[in-house]
């Protein structure tokens, strides 16, 4: 393996197991690798909604080559593809989509609504729903990995690669919260490299949304989520998801922008 150029890395491979102001700040500053809270959401409710997501009428698929096997309920911002019509559609559907996903969990609090509330309470400057060019964003996408076939190849996510909206100016880091509604006994693991991609790797990711796993060093961490778990990571760093054996892997997710503790966190899908 050739020596990598200087890239942004996490300071440690520590995984925190509580969601607090301290652990949030450490994750945003890349002082720790992840926050993994087991039993964050009731598994009975999660199982019911996972079944709904698998059969939801709005279930589509990500648009790039190495993500197209993964389903998502409602269009995430990444699939606007810098297209004006797609972007307009995304924002117009944002509030109805939020309300529909929320209704799937009724009468229970949706997991993304819970994390939104807790981020607002725990982050020093609070947290708000992201708006881009003044338009409301969707948050709360449900992702459906098909048994044995769906996977995310090593990639990263960065909002500044998706939009030039003025609201993203000053972004220091990007987090993602995943609440797992259903998981497989084997597979469906989250792999973390704890480094950002090189410029050449970034070019490949932007083209096909994934790197050949054999082209990389082994991941630093591999985490197996259980139903009901919450995991937060920095997706600006390389990460991947392995195929889930014989079972669907379903989760609710929200991206989170950090501009530092003096500014509110901003969330979207």
pLDDT of 31 strictly over 90: yes
Least trusted range by pLDDT, from 3-7, 65-69, 194-198: 65-69
Residue 19 maps to a domain: yes
Structurally, the chain folds into a number of domains equal to 1
In a domain, 23, yes or no: yes
Q: Which domain holds residue 255?
A: 15-268
Report pLDDT for 2. Answer: 45
Average pLDDT over residues 50-59: 90
Average confidence (pLDDT) over 165-193: 96
Which pLDDT does position 1 carry in this prediction?
41
Which residue is listed with tokens 């609070």? 126
CATH code for position 209? 2.60.120.620
Does residue 27 fall inside a structural domain?
yes
On the question of pLDDT at 205 being above 80, the answer is yes
- Would residue 35 count as lying in a domain? yes
- The answer as to whether 153 is a domain residue is yes
Average pLDDT over residues 54-62: 80
- Residue where the block lists tokens 């500053």: 29
Rounded Cα gap, residues 259 and 108, in angstroms: 31
pLDDT grade for 60, boundaries at 50, 70 and 90 = confident
CA distance 266 to 258: 7
With a CB cutoff of 8 Å and minimum separation 6, the contacts of 254 are 112, 115, 116, 139, 140, 141, 176, 177, 267, 268, 269
pLDDT value, residue 67 = 53
Per the rule left: phi > 0, alpha: psi between -120 and 50, beta: everything else, 143 is beta
Q: For the segment 136-147, what is each residue's pLDDT rounded down to a tens digit?
A: 999 999 999 888
- Residue 5: band (very low, low, confident or very high) from pLDDT cuts 50, 70, 90: low
pLDDT over 80 (residue 209): no
6 found inside a domain: no
Mean residue pLDDT of the chain comes to: 93
Q: Is residue 1 part of a domain?
A: no
Mean pLDDT of 53-73: 73
Contact predicate 35/230, CB 8 Å: yes
7, part of any domain: no
pLDDT in tens, 233-262: 999 999 999 988 989 999 999 999 999 999
pLDDT for the residue 150 = 81
């Amino acid at each position: 393996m050739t020596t990598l150029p200087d890239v942004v890395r996490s300071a440690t491979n520590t995984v925190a197991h509580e969601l607090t102001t301290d652990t949030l700040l450490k994750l945003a500053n890349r002082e720790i690798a992840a926050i993994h809270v087991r039993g964050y959401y009731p598994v009975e409710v999660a199982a019911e909604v996972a079944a709904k997501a698998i059969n939801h009428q709005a279930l589509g698929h990500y648009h790039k080559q190495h993500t197209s096997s993964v389903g998502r309920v409602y269009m995430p911002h990444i699939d606007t593809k810098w297209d004006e019509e797609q972007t307009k559609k995304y924002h117009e559907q944002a509030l109805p989509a939020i309300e529909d996903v929320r209704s799937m969990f009724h009468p229970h609090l949706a997991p993304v609504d819970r994390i939104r509330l807790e981020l607002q309470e725990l982050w020093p400057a609070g947290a708000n729903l992201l708006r881009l060019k003044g338009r409301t964003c969707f948050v709360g996408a449900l992702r459906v990995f098909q048994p044995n076939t769906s996977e995310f190849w090593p990639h990263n996510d960065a909002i500044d690669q998706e939009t030039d909206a003025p609201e993203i100016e000053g972004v220091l880091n990007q987090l993602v919260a995943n609440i797992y509604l259903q998981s497989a006994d084997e597979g469906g693991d989250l792999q973390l490299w704890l480094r950002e991609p090189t410029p050449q790797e970034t070019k490949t990711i932007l083209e096909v949304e994934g790197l050949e796993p054999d082209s990389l060093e082994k991941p630093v961490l591999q985490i197996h989520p259980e139903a009901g778990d919450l995991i937060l990571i920095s997706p600006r760093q390389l990460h991947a998801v392995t195929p889930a054996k014989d079972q669907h892997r379903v989760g609710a997710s929200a991206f989170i922008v950090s501009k530092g503790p003096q500014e509110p966190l901003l969330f979207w899908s």
